[in-house]
Amino acid sequence: MEKIVVEDVLIVSLFIVLGLAVPCLLLLACRGWFRDLRRELPVWRSILTAISAISILFAWFWLDGTAILWYWGIRLQLDPYYSPSVPFALAGILSAFALRRIYRLQMLLAGVIMVAQWRLSYVT
C-alpha cells in the first residue's frame, strides 16, 4: 500500500486550484474588456489584449493538457524546461499591459499563475 504524503496532497491541490483560477481570471478580464473597454481603447491596444488572452489560454491548454495526459498514463517525452507554455505566458503578461483598470490586473495575475503553475508542476 502506498503511503500518502501530506506534501504531495497539498501540491496536487494547489495545482488544481491554480489550474482553475487561470480560465476564471481570463474569462473575467475578457468579459470586462469586451463589455467596457473595447470601444474606449485604440485598435492596437485591443489587438494586444486579444493576443494576451489567446497566448495565456494556449499556455493553459498546453500545461494542463499535458498534466491531464500524465494523469491518464500517457507519458509524453517532453523536456520540462523548454515547455512552450512559459514563453506564451510571458508574452501574455507583457501584452496584458495594454489593458486598463482591474482587467489588467486579472490578465496579469492569470499569466503569473501560469508561470507559477509551470514551476510547481515540472520543476519540483
Per-residue pLDDT, 122: 59
Alpha helices in the chain (DSSP H): 6-32, 43-71, 85-95, 101-118
Write out the three cell numbers for 99: 489593458
Distance, in Å, from the CA atom of 11 to the CA atom of 16, rounded to the nearest integer, reads 9
- Give the mean pLDDT per block of 10 residues along the chain (124 residues): 71 81 90 82 86 89 76 69 78 87 89 82 56
Task: Enumerate the domain spans of the chain.
Answer: 6-123
Q: What contacts 77, CB < 8 A, 6 or more positions away?
A: none
What pLDDT sits at residue 124?
A: 47
Tell me, what amino acid is at 31?
A: R
Q: Which residues contact 29 (CB under 8 A, 6 or more apart)?
A: 53, 96, 99, 103, 104, 106, 107, 110
Can you give the pLDDT at residue 39? Answer: 81
